[in-house]
Structure 1
């Protein structure tokens, strides 16, 4: 069934699939079919109505549904058909918390596919994991869908006699995938029973479940090769003749064609996915509220290091280096928090994207843009909160321009950590592997930012390449130069130390002068070997912007070409 439904991505597939006599076209078939997974997972942060409405808006033909009111009415109609109207405003919820029951989620998954108004619905073991009552409710729903004129195809294992009798036709396979029966079940499964009894099967006992009886029959060694017997049967001959006739002269009126790959336009897809992600983010306090609160807490902790020096105009070298170190810790710690907090969220989004793209709802380009739109406001807000509190407490304030550039580089850094975290999740399946890649990225930023090893020691030789391509180098330089390069506050100079020699060598004071003084901006030039310049701020911002764009392009490619689902 997975092969027919275009869900199979592993193994070797041979033969051909035809729809109404024509070769199956991937684009058109996705538009006219639905597929309910065995353990389909919906976003727990959305309501039942929001979940169904999202599917309807992306999958219904634009020429059929003309207005938003009609889409809303259709979605409510679908919800009513699966008997979830009373729960339409309820959150789906997770398996661990409050939300829909397993059976209700099963019906919701069916509703999500019905929202596309498909001609055929595939279901992978729709009764799996359900008790007898819930299984009966689900199969009655499938019977109702079939009576409305849709084709329902389901895989099912050892159903009860009541459930088994609700189906019209059966394709029965024995071990090895060979067909032993394909045809109508008949009333009370009499056609199936008559067929196997005609092949020598023992009579079915009164009250016996036909599903259990047929399994005993096809696994009995005394029955011989039932697959060969089927190929020699009149049922097989008749079916093959019908297929050959349909293949030889298919009616053009039955050919399924669509003008575009997706039902919704590019702009609509991008807008709807962005709205969906924003809603999910807003209803995920464990992710975003914790991110904001941790940013505020770290701003207070790091800023309070310099509370006793507030308003000071003359510093020692140790005090200035401490400021450099705290700025370094700020962008590293918040970056790490941003990266690791996004991993579980992106894993859910990635897996949901796989299901939605298989259904023809949207592509990797749409989800890539939506992720940027949904994430940016939280990055901007949390980074602004951190910078305002941190700079105020640490007494690192200056002009508006200085504060703007400091915040800009800090926000770019948070975005980089988040976006590379998303990229790593899209590139590798195991969470531990993504964590390893994150650790490598963090390590490179730590080492090559310019504090642990100074830039003047990395501008030649082996370190030159990694130093040039590491984002942390440009972030740290931008943050340091934005607030310290024009700082005229004084730094105490001790005659004979390296800073004193630097001031003398560069003409900032005379060797014989008494009370030689240096400024904070002089110390920046000395400490970073003249490599960190305020004139580089715009260049650094452009480079970081380019790296951000590269990260999004790589994410698009990873989502498009790398898949981890079967």
Structure 2
């Protein structure tokens, strides 16, 4: 994966954008994480968590696609020469991304968590980092998978964009789970963003006892989330497990596409 060393601009720009995105998000939601005493304030906190997940994830998926497309062209030549197996190439392509994603996660989470002023709790901070890391990783693997399954980077970008829209719409945030039409509810369960939101919101707000004021009701934050979104601390473990499955699935499909699909024109 020498392209990562021979093209330092890719990683430099990626890390610079990570810092810039974190600062933009942090200033946009400055200090809202500690304000949870009304439904509007709670929605703002949830919106901050939702935005934090999406803001950089889509960028990761989009930015990795040109690199994978370039590498694939070189891979076809080296595969024909019998230099290494397709699965070894796929494994290297995925593993080389992990350290960069980890650095991205640390930069992004440190800036956004403390600027937004989420609860100053070590356990919640590390869960925030864990969900962000898993999210950035599956977005990256999804971008790689899209290139692996399509003949050109342009087609991969179009296909990816279509799924981003569906993921956003049916993630359970814009339209709560109970209001998603029955003929679309199946998509909620296979939407990775839905599991990210369930896990990260549950980890940050699922045990909060603060009383929120609504129109004609008073209820704790954790009870409100349970009643309206089915979020709670019992959802953290399953969400982590499902996100791990999504990471494995996207990477496995990419590896299989590298091994069995060849778009090279002779």
Q: Same fold (TM over 0.5)?
A: yes
Deviation of 1:308 (Å) = 5.5
Structure 2 residue 63 is matched with structure 1 residue 341: yes
Q: How far apart are 1:307 and its partner, in Å?
A: 2.9
Correspondences of 1:457-472 after superposition (within 5 Å):
457-458=179-180, 461-472=182-193
The whole-number CA distance in structure 1 between the counterparts of 2:31 and 2:138 is 33
Say if 1:398 and 1:483, in contact at 8 Å, map to a contact too: no
Deviations 1:461-490 (A, max 9, x none): 212211111111111111111111122334
User: In 2 relative to 1, CA 464–297 (structure 1 residues): closer, same or farther, beyond 3 Å?
Assistant: same
Q: Distance in 1 between matches of 2:131 and 2:153?
A: 29
| In the alignment, structure 1 residue 519 sits paired with structure 2 residue 231 | no
CA shift in 2, pair 1:561/1:310, >3 Å: closer
In structure 1, the residue matched to 2:197 is 476
Distance 2:165 2:190 in 1: 14
Quote how far apart the aligned CAs of 1:345 are: 0.5
Relative to structure 1, the CA distance from residue 465 to residue 353 in structure 2 (aligned partners, 3 Å threshold; closer, same or farther) is same
CA distance in 1, matches of 2:155, 2:29: 39
The answer to whether residue 256 in structure 2 is matched with residue 549 in structure 1 is: no
Aligned residues: 265
Q: Does residue 1:319 correspond to 2:18, yes or no?
A: no
Matched, 1:435 2:157: yes
> How many angstroms does 1:338 deviate by?
0.3
> Is 2:207 aligned against 1:486?
yes
Secondary structure of 1:328's match? Answer: helix
1:538 and 2:237 correspond: yes
SS at the partner of 2:231?
coil
Matching residue within 95, 98, 116 for 1:376: 98
1:525-550 superposed Cα distances (whole Å, 9 cap, x missing partner): 2441xx22221211111111112112
Tell me the equivalent position of 1:31.
none
> Corresponding residue for 2:168?
446
Q: Distance in 2 between matches of 1:453 and 1:309?
A: 22
Q: Distance in 2 between matches of 1:362 and 1:380?
A: 27
Which residue of structure 1 aligns with residue 143 of structure 2? 421
Following superposition of structure 1 onto structure 2, how do residues 80-95 of structure 1 map, counting pairs within 5 Å? Answer: none
> Does the CA contact (< 8 Å) of 1:406 and 1:478 recur in 2?
no
Q: Is the 8 A contact 2:206 2:232 kept in 1?
A: yes
- Shift in CA distance, 308/412, structure 1 to aligned 2, threshold 3 Å: closer
1: distance between equivalents of 2:200 and 2:32? Answer: 21
Within a 5 Å distance, the mapping from 1:26-41 to structure 2 comes to: none
Bigger relative CO (Cα 8 Å, ≥ 6 apart)? 2
Match of 2:108, SS?
A: helix
**Structural mapping, 1:15-414, within 5 Å:** 277=1, 279-307=2-30, 309=32, 315-414=37-136
Q: CA deviation at 1:440?
A: 2.0
The offset of 1:432, in angstroms, is: 2.0
CA contact (8 A) 2:33 2:118 kept: no
Q: What is the deviation of 1:422?
A: 0.7
What is the TM-score normalised by the length of structure 2? 0.92
- Distance in 2 (CA, whole Å) between partners of 1:386 and 1:413 is 12
Q: What is the Cα-based RMSD across aligned positions, in Å?
A: 1.9
CA distance, structure 1, for counterparts of residue 185 and residue 25 of structure 2: 31
1:311: how far off? Answer: 5.6
Q: Show the counterpart of 1:59.
A: none
TM-score of the two chains, using structure 1 as the length reference: 0.45
Tell me, in whole angstroms, the C-alpha distance in 1 between the residues paired with 2:71 and 2:194: 31
Q: Which of the pair has more CA radius of gyration?
A: 1
- CA displacement at 1:398 relative to structure 2: 3.6
Distance across 2 between alignment mates of 1:485 and 1:532:
7
The whole-number CA distance in structure 2 between the counterparts of 1:308 and 1:542 is 31
Q: Which ranges in structure 1 are unaligned for 5 or more consecutive residues?
A: 1-276, 501-516
Structure 1 CA distance for aligned equivalents of residues 28 and 226 of structure 2: 24
Q: In 2, Cα distance between the equivalents of 1:487 and 1:372?
A: 37
Change (3 A) 1:390 1:435: same
- Secondary structure of residue in 1 paired with 2:184: helix
Structure number with the higher helix fraction is 2
**Matches of 2:153 and 2:99 in 1, distance apart?**
26
